[in-house]
Amino acid sequence: MAWVQLVALLALLECFFFAYAVGKARETYQLKAPATTGNENFERYFRVQQNTIEQMILFLPSLFIAAAYWPAQWVAALGAIYLVGRIVYYRAYVRDPRSRSLGFLLSSAPIILLVVAGAIGVVRVLLSS
């Protein structure tokens, strides 16, 4: 389970890094808070952060639910793919939002697999009791 917890902590650190990048972009592109529009380059950083938060709402619970029913190493491996996918998404989206597809796939597919794995685990336990 420690591997799963490590992945969860890394996801939180990654999210923190994206928030930091938004702050740096706000400074670089001179966009004063609370504005979130007005500079397309800033908006790219902001959208990466927001999309990551949206994904984390699905990722973290599905990670821990799946880990309750399946080998932690496999669940953590799916989580690691998610983390890499978020980095790919970040780099691509900031460069050119049209190139974000691979990063989106690498971070969305693990979430779908974790949700399915968690659902199978829950149903198996419910049916056996």
Q: What is the CATH number assigned to the segment(s) 2-124?
A: 1.20.120.550
Mean pLDDT of 31-47: 95
| pLDDT one-digit tens code per residue, 19-31 | 999 999 999 999 9
Which pTM does this prediction carry? Answer: 0.94
User: How sure is the predictor about 129, in pLDDT bands with cuts at 50, 70 and 90?
Assistant: confident
Average pLDDT, the chain: 97
Mean pLDDT of 68-83: 98
Distant-in-sequence contacts of 54-63, Cβ < 8 A, 24+ apart: 55/82, 55/86, 55/107, 55/108, 55/111, 56/11, 56/15, 58/111, 58/115, 59/11, 59/107, 59/110, 59/111, 59/114, 60/8, 60/11, 62/111, 62/114, 62/115, 62/118, 63/4, 63/7, 63/8, 63/114
| pLDDT one-digit tens code per residue, 97-114 | 999 999 999 999 999 999
